[in-house]
Each structure stands twice: as C-alpha cells, then as structure tokens.
Amino acid sequence: MLANGFSRREQTTLRALRTPAEIQRFLDEEIGYNKEKDGETCRSPRRVLRDHTAHCLEGALLAAAALAVQSFPPLLLDLEAVRDDDHVLAVFRQRGHWGAIAKSNFAGLRFREPVYRTLRELVLSYFEHYYNEAGEKTLRSYSRPMSLRRFDHIGWITAEEDLWVIPEYLASLPHTRLLTGEMERRLARVDERLQSAGRVGQVK
C-alpha cells in the first residue's frame, strides 16, 4: 500500500488522470451511473474503482481522491435543493479560480472549468440546469468546502464499509442561501428543450 492507502495499481490508474478535466472524463466514460438511490450505498473511492459504478456522492469521493493524487486538497461541496435531490461536487482551485468535478445523471450538473472567482459564482453556474421532473428550478443553497482530510482516520479512500458519516457531516454544515423569497416566487419553469438536453446520456 502507498501512503494514501491506494495500491500501486490503483495509484497508477489515478496518476494517469493528469488534469481535473481528465478525472471528469474518467468518471463519465469508465464509471457507470449507480441507479440505486443515494441512500442505499456510500462507496469509498476504492470500491467505486472496483465496482465501476457511482452516484453523485460516490463520484465526488472518487474525484476528490483523484485530485488528492494530483496534490489538490480533497474538498467536497454540497448543493442543497427543494423538492429534489441534493448534489455533491468535488471542488478545486487553480490560479485563484474555482472549478468542479461531479457525477450526475443529468448532463448539465457535471464538470465546471476553473474560471469562477468565487464559490457563489461556481454554484450559480449550476442553477439553470438544476431542476426536478416538474420543471421547477430547485437549487437553493450551498455549503462551504469540506476537507475530506478530517476523515483520514476512518480510511475514507479505501474503506470497505459504507461511509455514511461523510454525507451526514456534509449535510450538517451551514449552507448559504442563493435566492430571496421574492426571487423564488418569480422563478419560471424550465422549458422542454433544456429538460431534453439535460437528459442526454441519462441512465433510465
């Protein structure tokens, strides 16, 4: 085992992903979408690599581990929604700007280039693409970035048991509200074209 807990083979796989964009491509092309509900599994990065499947939280954990191999801090950020599922991003910073990697069944909720000056700017880039089956725009708030280093003591990278303590802690963090009540009341529904675009490549 290496210092981060990965085997040499696992480390070789992740070291080949030299940029955040390549990590995203690996998530999209090599890791299938976990069709189980987020509440049924919470796999470690090792289990995701072995099972070749992940939902958004599991994908964010793998992305954070891959970023750590590239010497980025392993950071997660929670997006909180109403009448919809929350979404978790692995966030990173390059040259003073924020970007994100994410696993999602919706096309518009995945990668963001590191061009956003603040976390609020980054989060707002997801707003128009974050909607439920009724066409409501549902994103409402976001957490501060959470370092996964606080979970090194439970071996979050290679654990065989589900890692429920991580989403529980992430959900408990203070969240910053994006909209005022008046803004929420005035939101338009998402049109059918954007809904269709978001479903491109979706696992039914």
The chain-wide mean pLDDT, for the chain, equals: 94
Q: State the pLDDT at residue 39.
A: 55
Mean pLDDT of 35-61: 89
pTM for the structure as a whole:
0.94
Distance CA 159, CA 99 (A): 27
Q: DSSP string of 106-120?
A: SGGGS-EEEEESSHH
Give the bridge partners for 98, in sequence order: 93, 116
134-170: pLDDT as tens digits:
999 999 999 999 999 999 999 999 999 999 999 999 9
Mean pLDDT of 101-122: 97
Question: Per-residue pLDDT for 36 more than 80?
Answer: no
Question: Per-residue pLDDT for 37 more than 60?
Answer: no
Question: Per-residue pLDDT for 38 more than 60?
Answer: no
Strands 139-143 and 75-81: antiparallel
Structural domains of the chain sorted by starting position, each given as residue range(s) with its CATH number in brackets:
8-198 (3.10.620)
For residue 125, which of 139, 136, 135 has the smallest C-alpha distance? 139
Distance CA 58, CA 49 (A): 10
